[in-house]
Amino acid sequence: MYLQKFPLKAWIEYHDEYLDEMLRLEGHGGTVSRASCASCGVADPMFRCAHQLCMGPEMFCQRCIVQKHAFLPTHIEWNEEYFEHRSLYELGLVMQLGHRPGFTCPAVKPADKDFVIIDVTGVHYVRLNFCECDACIAHRQQSSQVLFRLHYIYPTHDVKNPQTCAMFAVVRMFQILNCLGKVSAHDFVRTLELLTNNDGLNPPANCRRSFRLIVCQYRMTQMMKCCGRSHAPSGVLSTAQGELALQCRACPQPGRNLPDGWDRINWSEMPEDLRYTGWEIQIFQHNLR
C-alpha cells in the first residue's frame, strides 16, 4: 500500500541502473549491435534510425538502411467496404526482447499481460516476450534494462514487472511542449488518446499516472547525467545538496571569467562601463523564503 501511494520510493533504488542505461544510449549500445548489419550481415554497420522510431536500435549498412526506408506504410486492411486501421497487435505480432529481429529465443518468458506503449502516434497495446537465456543481451538482468536497451523505450516506475512504457521520442516531445507551450501532462496524454481513438467507442488504457511518473524519472535521470553523476563511484544517492545546480555564466568566478590578479585590482579606479565585470549580482525572491 505504501509503494502504491509513493511509487517513486521503489524506483529510487534502481536510479543508478536507469542512469547507466541512459548513458549507454549515447553510444551504439554494445559490441553486439556493431558486429554486422542487422539485414544483410555485412560487417561494420554504421547507420541506425534517428531516435530509433521505425527500425529500432539495430544498425545497418548504408545500402540496407536506404532499402528499409523505401516503403514505410501504415497498417490498414481492406474489409470489402473500406480500409480500416489494424494494429500489429491484432495481427498477432509478438515482440521478442533480448534478441535481434528474426531470432527465436529458446527460453521465452511471456509478459504477464498486454503491454501499453505510449508513442507520438498514440497509445498502443503490444505483446511482449522477455528472454531468460544466456544469449540475451541483458544476461538475465531486470526487465527494465531489457526495455532500456531497445534504445527507444523508457520503462515505468515498476522496474521488476513493467507494464507501461513510453517511447523516448514522446517524452522528448512532451518536454519541449511543456517548456515552450506550458502543455500539461494531462492534456498531452489526452491528445494521444484522441489520436488513438477519437470517437470514444474504444478508448485506450488510462496511462496518465504512469506517464507523469515516467516524465519525473526521465527529467531526474537526465539531470543526473548532465551533471556527471553517472560516473560517481558512490552512485546518485551520494549526490550532495547543490551538486546539480548550474553555475551562472555571468557571475564572476576566479579562474574562469576573472582576470589574473583580480583581487588586487582597484575597482573604484576602473571605468564605470567595466566595473560590472567584477560584480556579483544577487536577487532574493522573498516569496520563496
The three state secondary structure string of 41-53 is CCECCCECCHHHC
Average pLDDT along the chain: 75
Instruction: Report which DSSP code applies to 76.
Output: E
pLDDT of residue 177: 96
Q: Which residue has the higher pLDDT, 83 or 205?
A: 205
Which of the listed ranges 86-90, 122-126, 158-162 does the model predict with the highest average pLDDT? 122-126
Q: What does R_g of the chain's alpha carbons equal in angstroms?
A: 24
pLDDT at residue 145 above 70? no
pLDDT at residue 196 above 60? yes
pLDDT of residue 183: 95
pTM recorded for the entire structure: 0.67
pLDDT of residue 163: 80
pLDDT of residue 65: 74
pLDDT by residue (tens digit) across 64-107?
876 775 445 445 555 656 556 666 677 677 777 777 666 777 77
pLDDT of residue 32: 55
Question: For residue 97, which of 40, 153, 49 has the smallest C-alpha distance?
Answer: 153
pLDDT of residue 176: 96
pLDDT of residue 229: 83
Q: What is the mean pLDDT of residues 147-168?
A: 68
What percent of the chain has pLDDT above 70? 67
pLDDT by residue (tens digit) across 271-288?
877 777 666 666 665 555
Instruction: Report which DSSP code applies to 138.
Output: T
Q: What gap in Å lies between CA 8 and CA 45, rounded to an integer? A: 39
DSSP codes, 104-166? PPSSEEE-SS-EEEEETTEEEEEEEEEE-STTSTTSS--HHHHHHTTSSEEE-S-SSS--EEE
